[in-house]
Chain A
């Protein structure tokens, strides 16, 4: 059973068109939820850590939020350079520091 499910698989936006990416998770207890960005041919780059429901983190045009079952990555007025794959990952309380990733959302922002 998938522990981390991301949607949509792909998202095409016009520059300036705000939207949200979803990450739903099923774990017995959450140690932390993480967002990463991955550019083609590169390793993922850490963006945010969220630990508890209600928590929010912001960085430039990105804002991550967390509920008890899902997380959203909101992208406000995106630019073409925001085009990338966004990965969500979780660590379980009883899973040590093993980090499980979702399949990602591929974001394309057109100028």
Chain B
């Protein structure tokens, strides 16, 4: 049973470009979470989604950031017009409906903005 798959693992963008990060949850999991982690810091909640619905996006910056979890395919975290401050590791996690507190994380996508 494959774990949470994130890609790309590393992404380099220049200021003003777009970054798209993908996350495939564990089989059978219907909840997806995105977190951002800066070096030597904790995980900052961004958004929580279920299939086709954004449940809580209270941690998402109001501009340039968006997330989706379509009926088919992976969840996507999209960052438009990236700036240097967006450089970070972005982690995706998934959980089941019955054990929604137990998050299973991917290996992360490390975004570097030049």
Contacts and interface: CB of A to CB of B under 8 A. Distances in A.
Given A43-B107, A96-B56, A49 B102 contact: yes
A69 to B, nearest CB: 19
Interface stretch (B13-21, B40-48, B77-85): B40-48
B71 to A, nearest CB: 20
Interface residues of B, number: 25
A45 B93 CA distance: 10
Interface in A12-58: 31-32, 34, 36, 42-46, 49
Q: Binding site of B, secondary structure by majority: helix, strand, loop or mixed?
A: strand
Interface of A: 31-32, 34, 36, 42-46, 49, 87, 89, 91, 95-104
B105 interface: yes
Interface in B42-71: 42-45, 48, 55-56, 58
Contact of A43 (B4, B44, B48): B4
14 contacts: A34-B102, A42-B108, A44-B103, A44-B105, A45-B105, A95-B56, A96-B48, A96-B56, A97-B55, A97-B100, A98-B48, A99-B33, A100-B45, A101-B42
